[in-house]
Amino acid sequence: MSLCVAILATITTLGCNLQELTQQASKTTWLSVATGGTGGVYYPYGGGIAKVISDNLDSVEATAEVTAGTVDNLKFLSERSADIAFALADSLSDAVAGRGVFADFGRVPARSLAVLYPNYTHIVTLADTNIERISDLNGHVISTGAPGSGTEIIAFRVLQASGIDPDSDITRQSLGASQSVNAIKDGKIDAFFWSGGLPTGAILDLATTPGMTIRLLPSDEVLPVLRAQYGDTVYHEMVLPRSVYPDLEMDVPAVGVANILAVHESMSTDLAYEITRILFEHQAELVAIHAEAENLTLDTAVVGSPTMFHEGAIRYYEEQQVWANTDEP
Average pLDDT of the residues of the chain? 92
Answer left, alpha or beta for residue 82, where phi above 0 means left and psi between -120 and 50 means alpha: beta
Tell me, yes or no, whether 227 and 274 share the same domain.
Answer: no
Q: How many secondary structure helices (H) and strands (E) does the chain include?
A: 12, 10
26-30, 139-143, 200-204: least confidently modelled range: 26-30
Listed in order, strand segments (DSSP E) in the chain are 29-34, 60-65, 84-88, 110-126, 141-143, 171-173, 191-196, 214-216, 235-240, 252-264
Contact yes or no for 11/41 (Cβ under 8 A): no
Same-domain check for residues 153 and 276:
no
- The tally of domains found in the chain comes to 2
Q: Is 15 within a domain?
A: no
Q: Are residues 101 and 134 in the same domain?
A: no
On whether residue 183 sits in a domain, the answer given is yes
Q: What is the dihedral of CA 329, 198, 147, 86, to 10 degrees?
A: -40
CATH number, position 136: 3.40.190.10
Q: Which pLDDT belongs to residue 232?
A: 85
pLDDT in tens, 121-161: 999 999 999 999 999 999 999 999 999 899 999 999 999 99
Q: Are residues 79 and 182 in the same domain?
A: no
Which of 237, 257, 277 finishes a domain? 257
Confidence of residue 19 (pLDDT cuts 50, 70, 90): low
Between 234 and 86, where is the model more confident? 86
Q: Name the band, by pLDDT with cuts 50, 70 and 90, for residue 17.
A: low
Tell me if 5 is assigned to some domain.
Answer: no
Among 252, 243, 313, CA closest to 277? 313
Are the C-beta atoms of residues 90 and 153 closer than 8 Å to each other? yes
Claim to verify: residue 157 and residue 236 sit in the same structural domain: yes
pLDDT tens digit sequence for 70-116: 999 999 999 999 999 999 999 999 999 999 999 999 999 999 999 99
Domain end among 209, 225, 257: 257
The domain in which residue 182 lies consists of: 119-257
Q: Are residues 247 and 264 in the same domain?
A: no
Is residue 80 one of the residues assigned to a domain? yes
Residue 40 lies in a domain: yes
* Residue 19 in domain: no
Please give the pLDDT value at position 15: 55
Cβ partners under 8 Å of residue 282, min gap 6: 52, 55, 56
Tell me: do 106 and 207 sit in the same domain. Answer: no
Q: Which residue among 207, 239, 257 closes a domain? A: 257
Same domain, 165 and 242: yes
C-alpha to C-alpha distance for 226 and 166, rounded to whole angstroms:
16
CA distances from 142 to 108, 173, 188, 209, 248 (A): 30, 6, 9, 20, 21
* pTM attached to this predicted model: 0.84
Is 46 in the same domain as 130? Answer: no
